[in-house]
Structure 1
Amino acid sequence: MALRREVADLVMAGPLPDEDAEVEAISEAQRLIERISKPVTDDEAQALATLFGPDNCFGLAWTLLHIIETAPGASGAQYTERTDNEWVQLLNARVEAGRSLAEGER
């Protein structure tokens, strides 16, 4: 799986910190996220989906989710890593909702 440098840097940093983390850790996560240009590839989206932390991280989780959804295959993706995480569950639920809407339009 080939990842662009800015995506690989965020992946190497690990999951988003929780809202109780030091300001520096949250700021670094934000800096790394802001470096990612959209759209991301399907492989990058899969890698980024492993980075959700335990909470919203002051909105960074939503930003990450929206970046993931820019992948060309996002509407049919299945995020199978860390399925116990509420953000991964939300991603999968959004994919399923979109699929259901598309099927209803046919």
Structure 2
Amino acid sequence: MRPEVQRFVAEGPLPGWDGSEAEIDRRYRQLKEIARPVTAEEAAALTACFGPDDCYGVAWTLVHLVETGPGPAPAVSGPGPDTADNDWRHTLWARWGKGDQPT
């Protein structure tokens, strides 16, 4: 896994709307530093970084980054009912064409 992906993943989930402007900007810059496409391993690791909301649109940048990986990320085997990032897993699941299949 490339160092820039490791750094982003090590910081954990994106902040919510209550995050500071500086933190949100920093995480956005970190995402933009990751060259596309990502590997399957990187895409899987990045799916753990969704936060409780869209983080002022930064979560969509993360969605698009994950989607540059080769095929559905292994960690996106279907959204779980109790995860904080459930909406984002549903989004990825549906965008990979799996939204109509039972989990």
- What interval of TM-score do these two structures reach, taking the shorter chain for normalisation? 0.7 to 0.9
Alignment of 1:11-30 (within 5 A): 11-30=9-28
Residues 44-83 of structure 1: pairs in structure 2 closer than 5 A: 44-74=42-72, 79-80=76-77, 83=80
**In structure 2, what is the Cα distance between the partners aligned to 1:20 and 1:37?**
28
Change (3 A) 1:88 1:47: same
Amino acid at match of 1:8: Q
Comparing both structures, which one devotes a greater share of its residues to helix?
Answer: 1
SS in 1 for 2:36: coil
User: Secondary structure of the residue that 2:24 maps to in structure 1?
Assistant: helix
- What is the distance in 1 between the residues matched to 2:7 and 2:79? 20
Counterpart residue identity of residue 31, structure 1 = R
Residue type of the alignment partner of 2:87: E
- Once residues 63 and 16 of structure 1 are traced to their aligned partners in structure 2, the CA distance between those partners, rounded to angstroms, is 11
User: Offset at 1:88?
Assistant: 1.1
The offset of 1:96, in angstroms, is: 2.6
Name the larger-Rg structure.
1
Secondary structure of 2:46's partner? helix
Deviations, residues 25-69 of structure 1 (Å, cap 9, x unaligned): 111111111110000000100000110011111111001000000
Flag the 1:90–1:34 CA change in 2: closer, same or farther, 3 A.
same
Where in structure 2 are there 5+ consecutive unaligned residues?
A: none
Find the aligned partners of 1:11 and 1:81 in 2 and give their Cα distance. 20
Where structure 1 has 5 or more consecutive residues not aligned to the other structure, the ranges are 101-106
